[in-house]
Structure 1
Amino acid sequence: MTSVCLHGYVEGRVQGVGFRQSTAAEATRLQLSGWVRNLPDGRVAVLFEGESDAVRSLAKWLEHGPPGARVLAVTLQERPIEGAQGFIVQR
């Protein structure tokens, strides 16, 4: 299996709608590691790594997010694997 790491930003109505917690739950379900956090400009930053099919699944999920979110754009770039353990919601 090939491992992949993606880092990027989600724009739209993505704060105050449970986006971080839902992203963490979906990443955990997919057995991915990494983190998610709100940014002061209203975007959400995310980094996730793991098996390539699971990474693609989370990337696709980010395009709509949880109920209540309104995603306008997702920008992701591949990064070197960081070796993260677990998936955390950063404050």
Structure 2
Amino acid sequence: MAEQLSTLHGFVSGKVQGVWFRAFTQQQALAANVCGWAKNLSDGRVEFMLSGAADDLLAVCKALHQGPEHARVDRVDVETLAYKELSGFQIR
């Protein structure tokens, strides 16, 4: 049976800028074989898009709820989209 592929789009709120959150997201994604991107928004949130196998996406999302050492994650809003093929992981 083929793995279920999915794409997640979301936003992380809290103290998530200036604490290496995007690099942390990239590190977690690459370790889980997930592609995508992360970028800072002007309102202080980090936006992300992740594509990969459902179990791998779940692992990355769990990590995003914790964040790196100096981050404070208040909220993670995620929506599941139709699978979109992405390559690598970009910090925007």
What TM-score does the superposition give when structure 1 sets the normalisation length? 0.97
Task: Indicate which of 59, 65, 77 corresponds to 1:57.
Answer: 59
Identity in percent: 37
SS of residue paired to 1:63: helix
The structure 1 segments of at least 4 consecutive aligned residues displaced by more than 3 Å after TM superposition are none
The aligned residue for residue 14 of structure 2 is 12
Deviations 1:16-73 (A, max 9, x none): 0000001101100001011000000000000001011000011111101110000000
SS of residue paired to 1:21: helix
Paired residue type of 2:34: L
Which residues of structure 1 form unaligned runs of 5+?
none
The range that moved more, 79-88 or 31-40, is 79-88
| Deviation at residue 13 of structure 1 after TM alignment | 0.1
The aligned residue for residue 47 of structure 1 is 49
Which residues of structure 2 form unaligned runs of 5+?
none
Give the number of aligned pairs.
90
What TM-score does the superposition give when structure 2 sets the normalisation length? 0.95
Paired residue type of 1:12: G
Q: Superposition RMSD on alpha carbons, in Å?
A: 0.6
Rounded to whole Å, the distance in 1 between the matches of 2:82 and 2:54 is: 13
